[in-house]
Amino acid sequence: MIDFTDLSIAIIKRTFQRRFELARITKRSDTFRKIVRRLFFEGDDIQVIPRDASVEVNRSFQPPESTVLPSDVLRRMILRSKHIFRMDFCICRVSSGCSDYPHDLGCLFLGPGALRISDKVGGLISKEEALDHIERCREAGLVHIIGRNRIDSVWLNSGPHDELLSICNCCECCCLWRMTPFLSEDIASSITPMEGVTMVRGPERCVLCGRCGEACFTGAISGDTAQHDTGRCLICGRCAERCPRGALKIVMDPDAVDEAVRRVEVLVDVES
């Protein structure tokens, strides 16, 4: 008998490179869009957490001795979680044959659904191990996204999608959500920037080196002109980190972490 997890991984590996083509069809075919949304994206709510090093906290509202980081959203959800599953590999980087980032820094899954994931792809870990894992991901240059992602509950066969909270650690070259610009609006709107963060540009500092465009995984920045498409931008912070002239920065409201946590905590009861 074919194992469900083995079959899921085989299908993902076969279709992953066609995700942009399939995404485009959601804009051309209403029937295809409805089927894809119902099967893989319905009820999704995902936030991109900007890289800590790229963010400035709005000090006009917050004392300088107070330190708040975007990754505190993950930390707070992990510390509240009863069950935490760590994948032994990143399905996106493995499927793409990534040569720039580690394959072994996989997703974390929180909530009751984590208990139903096959041990063929990873295992349950402690809160301390989970915190260490996301730190290693940050050090490797990956960007975190967190939220309810139906496609994970489907391919992992973890049960109801409202019992699994995903924390993915994404690279700009292989991330599933690179297809966002090509998806129909109702599906693409499932993934958004973190609450309370904004991109600030200083065009007078820009020397058109193109590094920001190379770092952008949604194609929101044109490399040759550095034009910024705010509709595509998910404010991950990679461009701000790569810019040698400080022409880009991410500003975070002092209550952004609280707002982001409030948005996440209603999606999945990670304490049960």
Q: For residue 63, which amino acid is it?
A: P
- Bigger pLDDT: 205 vs 63: 205
pLDDT at 198: 94
9-20 pLDDT, tens digit each: 999 999 999 999
If pLDDT is split at 50, 70 and 90, which confidence band does 226 have?
Answer: confident
Phi and psi torsions of 69, nearest 5°? -120, 150
112-121 pLDDT, tens digit each: 999 999 999 9
pLDDT at 59: 53
pLDDT at 223: 62
- On the question of pLDDT at 1 being above 70, the answer is no
Global pTM reads 0.94
Quote the mean pLDDT of the chain.
94
- On the question of pLDDT at 179 being above 60, the answer is yes
If pLDDT is split at 50, 70 and 90, which confidence band does 228 have?
Answer: confident
How many angstroms separate the CA atoms of 27 and 47, rounded?
23
Going from N- to C-terminal start, the domains of the chain cover: 4-53+63-195+254-265
33-77 pLDDT, tens digit each: 999 999 999 999 999 999 998 898 765 545 554 578 999 999 999
